[in-house]
């Protein structure tokens, strides 16, 4: 069985903590940030060392939860498949990326619990 894969949208401290927790449990994690640089370069370096794929200057256009995975359309025009998408930015659950199923909002007060739930679903 392949490792679960997750896309985290937004580079907040809580998003970085979630990416780290998922990566420590063997998940493939991509973290995208619409800004051209990372808010915390030290945190970015630590995440990269854990195998988290970091991509700056990239946003989420929309998602489609197809049941077995989520199709995530990125601002560069690519569509990528993930076991789950976590929204950690101001666009939480708008029409382009509605919450539910495999698309969830980051709960900054329970990063560990969210990581455990995602790993069970993934």
Residue-wise pLDDT tens digits, 66-108: 989 999 999 999 999 999 999 986 655 566 677 788 999 887 8
Amino acid 121: pLDDT: 75
Q: What is the DSSP string of 48-93?
A: HHTT-EEEES--EEEEEE-SS-EEEEETTS-EEEESEEEE-STTTT
Query: What span, in angstroms and rounded, lies between the C-alpha atoms of 2 and 103?
Result: 20
Domains in the chain: ranges and CATH: 5-121 (3.50.50.60)
Q: Which residues contact 119 (CB under 8 A, 6 or more apart)?
A: 4, 22, 25, 27
Query: Residues 10-56: pLDDT tens digits?
Result: 999 999 999 999 999 999 999 999 999 888 999 999 999 999 999 99
Indicate whether 2 pLDDT > 90.
no
Amino acid 59: pLDDT: 92
- Compute CA 19 distance to the chain's CA centroid, rounded to the nearest angstrom: 7
Q: Take residue 60 and report the two structure tokens written for it.
A: 């989420």
Indicate whether 60 pLDDT > 60.
yes
Query: What span, in angstroms and rounded, lies between the C-alpha atoms of 79 and 59?
Result: 12
Side-chain-facing half-sphere of 104: CA atoms under 13 Å: 22
């Amino acid at each position: 069985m392949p490792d679960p894969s997750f896309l985290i949208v937004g580079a907040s401290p809580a998003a970085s903590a979630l990416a780290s927790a998922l990566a420590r449990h063997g998940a493939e994690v991509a973290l995208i940030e619409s800004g051209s640089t990372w808010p915390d370069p030290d945190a970015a370096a630590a995440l990269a060392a854990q195998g988290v794929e970091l991509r700056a200057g990239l946003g989420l256009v929309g998602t489609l939860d197809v049941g077995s995975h989520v199709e995530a359309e990125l601002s560069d025009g690519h569509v990528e498949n993930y076991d789950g998408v976590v929204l950690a930015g101001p666009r939480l659950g708008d029409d382009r990326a509605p919450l539910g199923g495999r698309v969830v909002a980051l709960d900054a007060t329970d990063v560990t619990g969210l990581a455990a739930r995602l790993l069970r679903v993934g």
